Structure formats: C-alpha cells, structure tokens
Structure 1
Amino acid sequence: MNVRPARRPRRLIPTVAVTAATALGLVGLSACSSSDAADGKNGGKLDVVASFYPMQYLAEQIGGAHVQVRNLTEPGQEPHDLEVSAQQRGQIEESDVALYLKGLQPAVDEAIDQSGTRTKIDAASLTSLEKHGDEVGGHGDDHEHGDEHGHDHDSEGADPHIWLDPVKYAEVARGVGKALEKADPDHAADYKKNTAALVKKLDGLDAEFRDGLKNTGSKVFITTHAAFGYLAERYGLTEEAISGLDPESEPSAARVKDLQTMAKADGVTTVFYETLVSDKTARTLANDTKLRTDVLDPIEGITDKSRGTDYLQVMKSNLAALKKALDAK
C-alpha cells in the first residue's frame, strides 16, 4: 500500500486534574487579575490559547464575548504532529488561559507545562479515559459509571479522542466552564449560562446518535485510524481501525487480511477515511474488498472540505454517514 512510513509510537503523558488544582487555588486568576486583564491588550477579553479545534470550540462557545481565542493548530493541519514555534511559545506565555488535551500533542504539552500561564486547563483531566486498540467496542454498555467499565483516569497509553463522544465532551465542557469562572470571576455568570447552553446542545446530539443508531443492520464500521472508540462504545458499535491511534502508522499485511475477512463476515459496506489524512490506505482496502468509501470526520480541524462549519454540524454529518453505512432502520 502507498502510505507514509510508520513512525515510532508516541508516548502519551499522564495528566494532572485541573479540578484538583483549582480547588487548591493553583490555577485561575484572582478577581484583581481579572480586572487587570480587562484593561489590557485584548480590549477587556480573556486571552485564551487553544491547542486544536475541539478546544477552540469549547472556549468560544463557553467564553462568548468575554474571550479572545487563538488556535495553535491551523485549519487543515494534522494536530498530532504539531511542532510549537517560538512565536507560539510566546503566545502561550502571554495568554491568560491555555486550554489543551494532554496526550494528543506532545509538543503542546511540553510548551504549556514549561510556560508561566496562570490558568492551564487540561481537558483530559476532566473526564475518564480508556485504552483502545485497533478494535474498539462490540457491546452496548452505556459507560455511565466510569471505573465499572474499565475507565482509566491515568492517560498514559490512553485514547485521547474524547470529544467524539458527546457525553464525554459535555463533561469536559462543564469543567472548562468552571475553570473560566475561576479565571475571570467578573463574568462567571455568563460562563455558567453559556456552559449550560452548550451542554444542552451536546445532550441533544447524544439523543440523536442514540436514536439514529439503535436499530442497524450491522454494528461494525472500518476507519482509517482508531479515533472513534469512545463513540463506538457509547452507541453499542464496533470500530475496526486500519491503523491504531496514530493516523500515519502503516498497517501490517496480517491486519489488512483480517479486515478483509471481517468485512465479509460482518456485512461491512463502507471503509471510512478522514479529511486531514491521506485516503490511499482506505481506498486500497475498499477496492480489494469491493466496498464503498465515505468520510467519517474526527473533527480535529475544520476546513473547506469539512461537511459542516462547526463541531455540531460535522458530528451530525458523521451520524448520517454511519446510519447509511450501517443500514439504520
């Protein structure tokens, strides 16, 4: 297959819960600092640096008119491989808040850890994580009670793609809202209101997925890399990934053969590819197995190729693609 050469697997870094730090008063700006920010360079807005699009979306939705958000990952850039420039390090250092997901972008983790930014919000610490491989799911557990279902609060070796599960993303949104309230108490009431509005939207999205995927002809879908494990488990599906958590790793010949056999046995109709990663591997597998191809977007960035202009729209497009591929009734 004509794919990029495999890279050495990334080592995911353990997280420290922002909630615990907040309780100790170690993150967040004081009321005085918040007033200082109001007289600063951003016209009274809190300066937030977000690591990649799902964090940007949270900051903008919750922060509203009170924040200025800058995304370290440019549209169309594959976030896993982001290298932080000297200019971006300066942006992080000067920001009031750094919002990131530790374990997804090692260079960002290092830059934020080394910065003097007063409020550091690690999204991975705001929900429970799981360790996922090439195959994820295969059951219909709701996973409402974290540790009973094998959830892991230590992110080393864990799957960071939590934003693709609307329930987990809502948990993160609540934590981000509380952190912004602490960082900018003058506008705490607005952050609380905006958080509640976003969580309501995410609850509605969860209901759409539950209803749309509860009765399908197949429960198995194939993706380029293992980004949809949390989504699969949430809605009783099984994700079979050509590659693992690394979108650029090369699958073995044995893995490809297994997928070909599995596709026939489980009635798979579609091989999904992504917008920010080469589709050559997915198309080769689809051609070999005479299957269709379609897009299932991990929403790591919004571009002109995205099927929607924001997180909610693209997630609904993902739902439509899954319903079609799985023969939803």
Structure 2
Amino acid sequence: MKRVLITGAAGFLGSHLCDRFIQEGFYVIGMDNLITGDMRNIEHLMPHPNFEFNHHDVTKYVHIPGELHYILHFASPASPIDYLKIPIQTLKVGAMGTHNLLGLARVKGSRFIIASTSEVYGDPLVHPQNEEYWGHVNPIGPRGCYDEAKRYQEAITMAYHRYHGLETRIVRIFNTYGPRMRLNDGRVLPAFIGQALRGEDLTIFGDGSQTRSFCYVSDLVEGIYRLLMSDYPYPVNVGNPSEITIKEFAEEIIKLTGTNQKVIYKDLPQDDPKQRQPDITKAREILNWEPKVLREEGLRITYDYFKSLPTERLYEESGHRAFDAFKKE
C-alpha cells in the first residue's frame, strides 16, 4: 500500500485531498497544527484503518517512520484574515516548513508537490495569467508575507529538483470553493454566503469591477492528483477560467440565497489583485484536465452545506483560537 503525507490535512483543501487519497487506496498520514485547520473536517476519517493524524507544526523537525511515497505540502494560512494576523507564521510555513518537508522527501525518496497559488502573480499586468508570467508582487506590502512565502516555496522546490534530482511538482491554485470552507476566513465566496445567511448586507471592497475565477473543490482535487501522478516538474495553473466580476458574483449569491440584502462598498485593500483568471492551456495539454463543475452547480452544493451548519457556526471565528500563542514570534 502506497503511503502519502498530507500537510494542512484538517484544512478545507487538505481534508478533501485526504478523502481522495483514501478513495484511491493509499495509506494517508494527515498532519496539521490546527491554527487554521479544523478537526471537524476530518473527523469522519479518524476511524478509518488507512488514516492517521499527527498534530504537528511542519516548521519543526518532521519525522515519519517507514516508507513514504508521496508528500503533499498544503499547510499554510490561505485567507487574508489569517495571514494578515499571523504573517510571521505564514512566512515560516512557506520557508522552514517547505525546507523540512523537502529534506524528508529526499531521505524517503518521496515524490513531492507543493500548493502554490495564483498570488505569485500578484496584481497582474498580464491577463489571463500563464505560467511564464513572473508576476507583479509587492514584497513589503501587507500581502507580501503570503505572496513571497509561496514564491519562495516554488524557488526552493525547484532548487531541490535541479540540485538533488528530487521528483517535485508545483500546482498554482486559483480561487477554489466548496464544502468545509470557513465562513469567516475573509475570502469573497464564504464571506458573501455567510453575510446572506446572517441577514447582513454583502460587502464589496473596491467598486466591484475586479474579477475572480472560481473552481469547485472536486475539480481542483482532480487536477492536483493528475499533476502529482504526471512527470511534469514545473508550475501548472489549476483553476476555472470562467471569469466574473465581484459585483456580478454578489448578485449571483443574492439570487442563490433568495435574500434581499443590499450591497455596500468599502475601500479596496492594498495590493488586492484587480484581475484573476488562469490560463489552463498547460493543464489541458499535460494533464488532460479542465474543470467540469459549472459555477451554478458548485454554488448550490456549497450553499446547501453552509445552510446545514448549526446556527452558532455562522457566527464563530473558526481558526483564530490558537493565534495568541504565536504573537510573541
């Protein structure tokens, strides 16, 4: 039985990856320090004989006994609320965490994949964004802690590939959504749905003309799996190229939820990208992959999930419970 380590296992995306690899017949070792992860995302896996969970911070030394065939490094704060509140930890998991796990992959002979992001393109000057574009990133701005952590991840991963011959893969993830997202994580989709469910006005930052491209989580997981099993070591965009303005998206959410909230506008945060749309030519050609789930279908499934949550979860600040322990760092 092939063994895989998935970091960030209790997070939104990490938990879906655990599900997929269990379904594919792997023995899955999930790892998470639970700063932004939530054990409720993986509690259904805890009794499974092919799953184990390690509560561990990957910025510390990582030891996994026995064979390890694959490592998926998906541990990182990924929402603005999180990485703006814990910028140092965000940088550390991108730098020290990636270094530790690359070292583990080298010792074990594991194939290694990192979760990079469309944020490596910054506020792009090229549209849509393709993998050859180097980006337009402010390294000392408030978002720099996340953007540069991801850019460093890519750089050190390629260094291990070139210098040590390590089998590595890099997935550049664009906006993703689906069940198990946190309503209060600061990203536009759960923010809109959460506000609608609580009867609040929907908040748009900026004038709403900025664009995003939303990929349903099952499509993303399929793309990640195909990339891991491919022989392509360079970055690949995985996302849905169906682009929509934030204003149009707010209108879709109001229609979906059947609410009559107003839309209110606030100032756009510094360095917030004005456009975001993946060029997925490489994913189509190399992985024979493209998204299948239409936004209308994915939003309905996601809304039904959020609507089924207990009322108290609509108001909790999930994921912030451990922040105080890290303030001194």
In the superposition, the TM-score normalised over structure 1's length comes to: 0.35
Larger radius of gyration: 1
Structure having greater relative contact order (Cα 8 Å, sep ≥ 6): 1
Q: If each structure's helix is expressed as a fraction of its own residues, which one has the higher value?
A: 1
Q: If each structure's strand is expressed as a fraction of its own residues, which one has the higher value?
A: 2
